[in-house]
Amino acid sequence: MTLLHVSSALTFATPPRYSALGTAAFPLLWVVLYYRVGRKPGERPGATQVVALSATAAAIALLSWAASRLAWNPADPSSLRLPFELIAIAWAVVLFLHCLRDRGWRGVAVFFLGAGLYALMLENIGIALGYFRESGYHLYVPFTAVPLAVVAGWCTVFYPCAYIGEALAMRFPAAMRFGGLPVALGIAAIALSTDLHFDPVATVLGLWNWDERLPAFFLGVPLVNFTSWFAAVFGFAAVYVYVERRRLASAIARGL
């Protein structure tokens, strides 16, 4: 996803936004930590696996970019919305299947039903308060002004961030202190790092528009977006970690 964001910022934005190359370090840092710290030394992927993972990521990014390129019309800022919708929903389906395999229907209920409803509420509030607009999409959640792809996007943030956050916590026995607060903060930090990369790209590509009265804080994105992201994900993560505290504490104690 990060590779797709970078390639889109370099080819579809006018002028090209080379800042995306720098912000890509935010989400990729957690990927590196996941493979370096989040697993036991004997379980880290070998060179062949690393090459395979890297090649697969590049191939998926290229395929997604090619689909976007076919739909792109420089004279129509909204032309990228349809491929964005299709790609976001496709990622949600892939992660849904991963979650089902890894955590069963209980995990699906948490990350794709609970998180989806939570995201729908947050997006509706943001639109109602006039912070941003998400017009011109093809698929909306019925009876709302929220695109289905945006809700799908929230789910594809919540699940990987929790997955990586838990994997990192397994290496630190103190992670479950204070009711698991460090784990919840870690999940929120991962999500914020992702948004620091994605939202500036989405903004410059016109996938959504901020209220003109909100001053830009970071690469054209208002500060309230980032504070809201962190608070929203932390709230969800805090409840999730509290409910799962016994399972997480047991897994950390066993070093899984």
What's the Rg (C-alpha) of the chain? 18
pLDDT, mean of residues 184-189: 95
Mean confidence (pLDDT) of the chain: 90
- For 186, the token pair is 């870690």
Place of tokens 């030394």: 41
pLDDT band at 227 (very low <50, low <70, confident <90, very high): very high
Q: Three-class SS of residue 221?
A: strand
Q: Rounded distance, CA 66 to CA 53, Å? A: 20
Reported as a pLDDT band with limits 50, 70 and 90, residue 190 is very high
pTM to 2 decimals?
0.91
Instruction: Give kind and range of the element (H or E) at residue 222.
Output: strand 221-222
**pLDDT tier for residue 35 given thresholds of 50, 70 and 90:** confident
Q: Measuring CA to CA, which residue among 254, 256, 252 is closest to residue 173?
A: 252
Query: pLDDT at position 39, please?
Result: 63
Q: Can you read off the two tokens belonging to residue 48?
A: 């062949």
Closest among 99, 65, 92, 95 to 80, alpha carbons compared = 65
CA gap 40, 87 in Å, rounded: 33
Whether 48 shows a pLDDT value over 70: the answer reads yes
How far from the centroid of its chain's Cα atoms is residue 10's Cα? 20
Q: What are the extents of the domains in the chain?
A: 2-254
In sequence order, what are the beta bridge partners of 147? 140
